[in-house]
Structure 1
Amino acid sequence: MSIRMLPAAHIEKISPATDEQLILAYQQTGNQEHLAVLFLRYSDLVYGTALKYVRDADQAKDAVMNIYQELVQKLRSHEVAHFKSWLYVVTKNHCLMWLRKNKKNITIAFQPEFMQSGEDGHLDDLLAKEQQFKKLDNCVKSLQDEQQHTIRLFYLEGKCYKEITALTGFEWDKVRSLIQNGRRNLKKCMEKNA
């Protein structure tokens, strides 16, 4: 029996039976008309789910038909309490199996930003950053010894004011002052050498 898409209102006119009643009727009689009415209620869900996984309209339509054929067999022997949820899982599993089987055929879109080109733009960026680090290192070295020492402890070693006071023996206010003045002097030095 082939399945064709029908509006939901038309399906309800064909059979106002519940999902459970249609499943029971199909299991008892084997008449695919009961299964077709049931399946048509959720064909949009099946198609949408398949499309989400296979990402191709024609493949999704094929999946809908294949899933119906699976249901012809599976629904005869499975006890199904919530058909919609069960159908979703069957659809998802069908699509995942299809993806696994066709893994070698998956095409990935060309992304030029990952390709090597004749331009060495990324190399220029690295060189510019390296120059900035050299300037910064020279500016740190140009600071007076106490400022240089506290700046290195605070920024490069990640020490807090309290740890710096313990390491240097300076008062907390002096450490704060050295770091603030050192940061200001670094900024001036970097601007001057820009």
Structure 2
Amino acid sequence: MFLFRRTKPQEQPPTEAELLAHYRTHGDVQDLGRLYEPYLHLVYGVCLRYLHDEADAKDAVMQIFEKLVTDLRRHEVQNLSSWLHTTARNHCLMELRRRKASPEAVEISLPGVESDGVAHLLDADDDFPTEEHLQQLEVAMARLPPEQQRCLDLFYRQQQSYQEIADLTGYDLKQVKSHLQNGKRNLKLYLASHVAR
């Protein structure tokens, strides 16, 4: 008779969701490094496409990592790849605006890549937004009612879910969806009539 020794099952590496949850709870920068490392090429690619300079793109990758130290503890991110793409894009657009900005310019956040309302006007993969487009978006955002501005900002820039927006604002889910839908429609209408493509 042969005796078989039980072998210890190999420990599975933690999933991305587990690492995110652990980082949100404990703030261990090593967890953040493990989360960020697989996406370095994605973030660098986005930054290079916008900034057109390797050194600037590398600097942006590090600046985004530093931003994540606090942002990933505040926001519950469901899709890290998409969230990082949006974060990198917004970081680069804000950097480009900062370089060209006049003193009175006010920085705003752009809707994320998933936006079905204005993505065709702002999708970086198809057509890089010009300074004029960004200024028009700023004007359009300022013309929205405050509740629509708030919901769009929370949903696209901060990647909050409908329920999280409801919890933060006090609106019910139906109101949140209505403010998002109306805000996107109003942005689209304004930009379509004021931005020459």
TM-score above 0.5: no
- Compare relative contact order (CA 8 Å, sep 6+) and give the higher one, 1 or 2: 2
Query: So what's the TM-score if we normalise by structure 2?
Result: 0.44
User: Structure 1-normalised TM-score?
Assistant: 0.45
Name whichever structure is richer in helix by fraction: 1
* Structure having the higher Rg: 1
